[in-house]
Amino acid sequence: MKVVLYGATGMIGQLALRECLLDPEVEQVVAIVRKSTEKQHPKYQEIVLPDISDLSSVKEKVTGFDACLYLIGVSSTGMSEAEYTRITNEMTIKAAKQLVKLNPNMKIIYVSGMGADSTEQGKEMWARVEGKTENTLLGMPFEAAYMLRPGAILPMHGERSKTTQYRILYNIMKPLNPLLKRMKSVVTSEQLGQVIVHLAKKGTTKEVLERDQLKTLALSIEGK
């Protein structure tokens, strides 16, 4: 399986990349980045683009892939609806349209968040935008599309959030990690990474997976 990865430097991108590189069925991961991370691995490559949503100059490098892991996430705090929409919706859909045209048999896995609003009519700006993005991706001609809405994510292998308040919260809660790990509402970074890779490889019958469903799927993968 060959994978295109967006968000390689974010917390969820880091955990998904780790699981991709560990999985023998994943032969190649190509990350679309604005700036090189200088990460070295036989299965890992980077394409550096000033506009990561514009793949017109690298079509041949992103053709022949089986899955796209679109794991870019930004906090809406202090951001206008127009700017949040540009990053979360417009860039995502622009990239997805190009990828599905080049790879009609591709699956796409998109991580939004618990509370995303599929009606696109709610009061929370971020939830409306995420809901609109999910709906658009689900309506595109991918082989399959999966929308993931995790709640709390417990870092297990040194993954770091880019959001300062999240990093502070993770540090405060660290002594409680053994207890949190057993909670149904909490998925570990390793579990979420395994779920993402599992969906890319095998899929599932449900297109939108809430936090409890993600945890159930993660436990079933671990139980194999």
Q: Assign residue 170 the CATH number of its domain.
A: 3.40.50.720
Per-residue model confidence (pLDDT) at position 180: 47
- Encoding tokens for residue 28? 């190649």
Per the structure, how many domains does the chain have? 1
Q: What are phi and psi of 209, to 5 degrees?
A: -115, 115
Contacts of 50 (CB under 8 A, 6+ apart): 34
- Encoding tokens for residue 80? 């206008």
pLDDT tier, 139 (very low <50, low <70, confident <90, very high otherwise): very high
Integer Cα distance of 54 and 33 in angstroms? 11
Residue 224, Cβ neighbours under 10 Å: how many? 5
**Nearest 10 degrees: CA dihedral of 174, 75, 212, 145?**
-130
Per-residue model confidence (pLDDT) at position 158: 55
Integer Cα distance of 135 and 126 in angstroms? 14
Domain that holds residue 72: 2-222
- Beta strand 107-111 with 28-33 is unpaired
Per-residue model confidence (pLDDT) at position 190: 87
Residues above pLDDT 90, as percent of the chain: 71
Contacts of 132 (CB under 8 A, 6+ apart): 89, 120
Residue 11, Cβ neighbours under 10 Å: how many? 22
Instruction: List, for residues 91-116, the tens digit of each pLDDT value.
Output: 999 999 999 999 999 999 999 999 99
Q: Which residues pair with 136 in a beta bridge?
A: none
SS3 185: coil
**Among the listed residues 25, 218, 53, the one whose alpha carbon sits nearest the alpha carbon of residue 3:** 25
Higher pLDDT, 178 or 74: 74
Instruction: List, for residues 144-200, the tens digit of each pLDDT value.
Output: 999 999 977 876 545 454 555 444 444 444 554 444 455 555 778 888 999 999 999
How much is the pTM?
0.86
Q: Which of 7-16, 18-27, 49-58 has the lowest mean pLDDT?
A: 7-16
By the 8 A CB rule, do 2 and 197 touch? no
Greatest Cα pair distance, the chain, in angstroms, is 48
Question: What distance, in Å, lies between the first and last C-alpha atoms of the chain?
Answer: 21
By the 8 A CB rule, do 114 and 151 touch? yes
